[in-house]
Amino acid sequence: MITDAIDPLQDSIMSLAYGRDHLAIPGPSVIPERVLRAMHRPAPNIYAGDLVDITETIFQDLGSLARCSGDTVIYIGNGHAAWEASLSNTLSRGDKLLGLATGRFGLGWAQAAEAMGAEVQMLDFGAGKPVDPGQVEAALRADTEHRIKVVTTVQTDTGTSVTNDIPAIRAAIDAAQHPALFMVDCIASFACEPFDMDAWGVDVMLAASQKGLMTPPGLAFLFINDKAHEVSQSANLKTPYWDWHSRITASVFPMKFGGTPPTHHLFGLREALNILQEEGIENTWQRHRSLASCVWAAVDAWASGSHISFNVSDPAHRSPAVTTIKTADGEASALREWCETEAGLTLGVGLDLVPADGGTHNLFRIGHMGHLNPPMLLGTLATTDVGLKALGIAHGSGALESACRVLANLPAATDLQ
């Protein structure tokens, strides 16, 4: 006879969270065991030897991942540091910047510029739509004196999960025959979705270690072409730490980092780049596409007859790296709470889509970037499905069936009827 103490039914109402936790937030992303192991080593010599040798290969491999024939610079810092580095090297106090925003991060970068002394003109496309290249062209044509020195935009805005068409924005700048530098934040999208710096005519690209690059937060990257170098000559917001020129030309190894190098991050990043090279970047992009489609199929199913919906309605402008999902007020926060405490799954919090609207209880995000495969992603979707059921949140059925059909390359179940 089963006693209360070992009643398996009794156990099932307790937390199920004992096991390997899963982080499904849009950065930091899951760190592969190989990267963690590569970092577990004693502190190295920072003037010669292994660290110096592998760092040379890191600069080369990052440049080829970005398809950048110019220079690559590494800063100890997060994405916000990359913003400041890009602005410091290209602007002088009072220079004008045209900021294109499709969410919190496009706005944040422009706000940093303003705080640093630039004059900012904003084109805000709202919280669920991409940059409209036509409006960019019009704004640049109106700037007949060419006072705008820099145009900033984000490839994927991680708050809204809107993805922008970077070549189309470049074409708009060219159509206006405007000389402004084109700077793109790829912090959420680098190594998740296609990017081709040289071919797309991007002058400065920003990335960071903790998203598609699967390495702990702490490294910020700038990719720079000749035009950006030229502009930087006269930029008076430059300070010794951010100055990219002194890093690129440093003759003593640590000065490539403005001081002590981020030793263990570099060991980890080397291993992450090895993983990406083994997969092949086109395959990495394709894997992100497939896994994102799998998430979208599940959300489509949940959305049927419920308050659940995509923040970005047009699939062409959804990110392959992160998906922002809307619910009725309070449902998203309850769902996140349940998944984390009852099941060991951490979903992404909602970020204010409109600054300070306080409406984050009706949003959650699924990060699907970096080190991710079907068991991890289907586990996330299935656990979310359990949470919806356990909490009695209305949702359409068949999310897992739909998600699995996507990965099996089968037509959607509804197409068969």
Ligand X SMILES: *Cc1c(COP(=O)(O)O)cnc(C)c1O
Q: CB-based contacts of 32: which residues, under 8 Å, 6+ apart? A: 214, 271, 272, 275, 371
- The structure tokens listed for 254 are 């640590």
Q: Which is nearer to ligand X, 111 or 306 (CB)?
A: 111
In the window 345-384, what residues touch ligand X (CB under 6 A)? Answer: none
Q: What helix, strand, coil percent values describe the chain, rounded to 5? A: 45, 15, 40
Asked if residue 78 binds ligand X (CB under 6 A), the reply is: yes
CB nearer to ligand X: give 157 or 300: 157
Span interacting with ligand X, options 67-75, 127-135, 184-192, 382-390, rule CB under 6 A: 184-192
| H or E segment to which residue 218 belongs | none
Q: How far apart are CA 341 and CA 343, in angstroms?
A: 6
Which secondary-structure segment (H or E) carries 220? strand 219-224
Span of 72-80, 263-271, 359-367, 373-381 interacting with ligand X by CB under 6 A: 72-80
The distance of closest approach from Cβ of residue 219 to ligand X in the complex, given in angstroms and rounded to an integer, is 10
What is the C-alpha separation between 166 and 199, in angstroms, rounded? 11
Q: Does 113 bind ligand X (CB under 6 A)?
A: no
Single out the residue of 44, 54, 67, 80 in contact with ligand X (rule: CB under 6 A): 80
Q: Mark 197-216 with x for binding to ligand X (rule: CB under 6 A) and - for no binding.
A: -----------x--------
| 90 counts as binding ligand X under rule CB under 6 A | no
- Residues 10-29 vs ligand X: string with x where CB under 6 A? -----------------x--
Q: Which is nearer to ligand X, 157 or 243 (CB)?
A: 157
Distance CA 47, CA 183 (A): 33
What does the block give as tokens for 136? 């960019």
Q: Which of 132, 151, 147, 131 is nearest to 204 (CA)?
A: 151
Name which position in 32, 63, 217, 254 contacts ligand X (CB under 6 A).
Answer: 217
The radius of gyration of the chain from alpha carbons, rounded to an integer in Å, stands at 23
The binder of ligand X chosen from 185, 193, 243, 331 (CB under 6 A): 185
**Min dist. Cβ of residue 109 to ligand X (A):** 7
Is residue 188 a contact residue for ligand X (CB under 6 A)?
A: yes
Kindly state the tokens that stand for 51.
């660290």
Evaluate whether 32 touches 39 at the Cβ level (below 8 Å).
Answer: no
Largest CA distance in the chain: 87
Q: Pick the stretch among 74-82, 126-134, 250-258, 367-375 that binds ligand X (CB under 6 A).
A: 74-82
Q: Provide, rounded to whole angstroms, the least separation between the CB of residue 184 and ligand X.
A: 10
* Shortest CB 347 distance to ligand X, Å: 16
Give residues 297-336 in contact with ligand X (rule: CB under 6 A). Answer: none
C-alpha–C-alpha distance, residues 401 and 398, integer Å: 5
Closest-by-Cβ residue to ligand X is 79
How many residues of this chain bind ligand X (CB under 6 A)? Answer: 13
User: Binding of ligand X at residue 111 (CB under 6 A)?
Assistant: no
Query: φ, ψ for residue 157 (rounded to 5)?
Result: -90, 115
166 part of the interface to ligand X, by CB under 6 A: no
Cβ count near 294 (within 10 Å): 22
154 binds ligand X (CB under 6 A): yes
Q: How far lies 160's CA from each of 65, 82, 145, 318, 356, in Å? A: 25, 20, 34, 9, 14
Nearest distance from residue 100's CB to ligand X, in Å? Answer: 13
Structure-token pair, residue 214: 């699967």
Contact pick of 29, 55, 153, 158 for ligand X (by CB under 6 A): 158
**Cα–Cα distance measured from residue 105 to residue 16, given in angstroms and rounded to the nearest whole number:** 35
Provide the terminal-to-terminal Cα distance of the chain, rounded to the nearest Å.
Answer: 49
| The one-letter amino acid at 390 | A
Taking the C-alpha atoms of 101, 190, 410 and 386 in order, what is their torsion angle to the nearest 10 degrees? -70
Q: Is 257 in the site for ligand X (CB under 6 A)?
A: no
Q: Is 105 in the site for ligand X (CB under 6 A)?
A: yes
Smallest gap from Cβ 154 to ligand X, in A, equals 5
**Single residue of 187, 237, 308, 366 touching ligand X by CB under 6 A:** 187
Q: Which residues make up the interface to ligand X (CB under 6 A)?
A: 27, 78-80, 105, 154, 157-158, 185, 187-188, 208, 217
